Amino acid sequence: MEFLYFLLIGAISGWLGGQLWKGSGFGLFGNIIVGIVGSIFGGWLAGKLGIGGGGLLWQIIIAAGGAWVLLFLISLFKK
């Protein structure tokens, strides 16, 4: 069940990241994949910075931030 929860948060964060990063998205499914990877990255980065919370909204914000950063980095190499 935790894995499905993780995928759902990643999918939501990928969609949010795609909405924040207009013009450099990868379509709905691509953004969901980037969101899942970005949620891992965002969680890792938040842990290193010592920020975080336990709530669902906070997890989505962290994951969306990770997805946004990942979309930004990918867009640098995509051009």
Q: pLDDT per residue over 12-39, tens digit each?
A: 777 777 777 665 567 777 777 887 888 7
pLDDT at position 30: 79
Is the pLDDT reported for residue 78 higher than 80? no
Consecutive H or E run containing 74? helix 56-78
Q: Evaluate whether residue 33 is within a structural domain.
A: yes
pLDDT (tens digit per residue) in 52-77: 767 778 877 887 778 778 878 887 88
The SS3 assignment for 46 reads helix
Closest-CA residue to 75 (of 10, 1, 22): 22
The count of structural domains within the chain is 1
The domain containing residue 40 runs over which residues?
A: 26-78
What pLDDT shows up at residue 49?
A: 85
Q: What is the pLDDT of residue 18?
A: 72
Write the single-letter amino acid at 12: I
45 vs 24, higher pLDDT: 45
Is residue 6, in this structure, part of any structural domain at all? no
> Is 19 inside a domain boundary?
no
